[in-house]
Amino acid sequence: MSKWYESNTSGIVVSTRIRLARNLAGVPFPGRMNDSQRTEVNKKIIDSIMNGSSALSKDLKVVDMDSISDAEALAMVERHIISPAFARNRKNRRLILSLDESISIMLGEEDHIRIQVLKGGLQLFETYEIANNIDTLLSESLTIAFDEQLGYLTECPTNLGTGLRASVMLHLPALESTGEISQLADAVSKIGLTIRGMYGEGSGSKASLYQLSNQVTLGISEKSALDNLKSITMQMIEREQVTCKNFDKISLEDSVFRSFGILKNARLLSSDEMMQYVSQIKIGVSLGIIKLKDENIPIKLMIETQPAMMALKLNSQDASERDIERAKIFREQMS
């Protein structure tokens, strides 16, 4: 089955992510739980989703995080299915994952339940609706921690209220090259949004990819938070397009074709180099400078040739072996 990142990723908005933080009432949060409580909570949540009346469970599987390797866990981070923190601490943790990997529910991360839904392109409301339905399904059989004043109760007070973190991954090479991105980061922080690197909190930007997300969760409804994020996203898209139009056409084409040339011919390709060139290819495809058989290829390959993904594919930790294989994949797909 194809993965969520194999469609709708060719625009400035590469993907949309919705995350809902939920907890069971009357049980300590994951940070203060003992192992037997953890086992019991995991079981309750898994039963609620997998044995519920919803047709959803057909497409879901439960992953026992204890039993997977470091490389597998890191590869999940690279595919944006789980958080880096969840990959680091996997003891007695469970993950409920859909076949296309667009739905991932982390059990025992910072909260008992972290519902995450990913979609290619800008699909804030559609993506939220899927997460919302899973949340409603859970609340049919579980008592979710909620307070009339503070809303959904979460381990970290920054998530209180709706527990909703909505984010869009934006490809902003033009705004990055003019330095305007740092001014925008300042500006959005004043209206309750934040811009981060592609792997979230604390991660730097690679391939000109940035995550724009809501920061405030208390006192603002889900709909208003999504409306705000959508409206700022639309403005960012426009700014990126206008800035891009002002670039010197011939130098832009030159840098796109040089990157294309390298990806079509390289025999060794490191992960950092790949990210840099894929970003150029992505601009080339969106401006019609180059044509690929499938315009989702840049993002698909970018995700599938990340270090842990390659280590998993080759069953080897050898970096040069990975660089050879990565170069081979790009040569085949870029021609």
Partner 1 sequence: MMCEQCGKNPATTHVHTVINGVSAQKNLCTYCAVASGYAGFQSGGLMNMLSSVFGDSLAAHPTSNEKRCNCCGATFSDIAESGKAGCSDCYREFGPQLMNSLQRMHGKTKHVGKVPQSASGEVRAAAYLQNLKDELAQAVTSEEFEKAAKLRDQIKLAEAGENHE
Contact residues toward partner 1 (CB under 8 A) are 23, 25-29, 31-32, 110, 132, 135-136, 139-140, 143-158, 160-162, 164, 192, 216-224
Q: How many CB atoms lie within 10 A of CB 35?
A: 9
Shortest separation between residue 221's beta carbon and partner 1, angstroms: 4
Nearest residue (CB) to partner 1, 221 versus 317: 221
- Spell out the alpha helix ranges (H) of 179-318: 180-189, 222-245, 249-265, 271-286, 297-304, 307-314
Q: Which is nearer to partner 1, 25 or 234 (CB)?
A: 25
Q: Which of 167, 119, 180, 211 is nearest to 20 (CA)?
A: 167
Residue whose C-alpha is closest to residue 82's, from 56, 45, 107: 107
- CB 112 to partner 1: min, Å: 10
Residue among 24 and 283 whose Cβ is closer to partner 1: 24
| Cα–Cα distance, 25 to 28 (Å, whole number) | 8
H/E stretch holding 72 reads helix 70-78
> What contacts 134, CB < 8 A, 6 or more positions away?
20, 49, 56, 103, 105, 115, 117
CB 7 → partner 1: shortest distance, Å? 29
Give the shortest CB-303-to-partner 1 separation in angstroms. 27
Query: Smaller CB distance to partner 1: residue 77 or 226?
Result: 226
Tokens for 280? Answer: 């150029």
Nearer to partner 1, 223 or 245 (CB): 223
Minimal distance, residue 269 CB to partner 1, in Å: 35
Residue 76 Cβ vs partner 1, minimum distance, rounded to whole Å: 23
178 or 221: CB nearest partner 1: 221
Measured from the CB atom, the residue of 72 and 135 that comes closer to partner 1 is 135
Mention every residue, 6+ apart, whose C-beta is less than 8 A from residue 261: none
- Give the DSSP H or E segment for 261: helix 249-265
Question: Smallest distance, Å, CB 140 to partner 1?
Answer: 6
Q: How far apart are CA 132 and CA 230, in angstroms?
A: 18
CA distances from 73 to 66, 77, 82, 187, 319 (A): 10, 7, 8, 35, 18
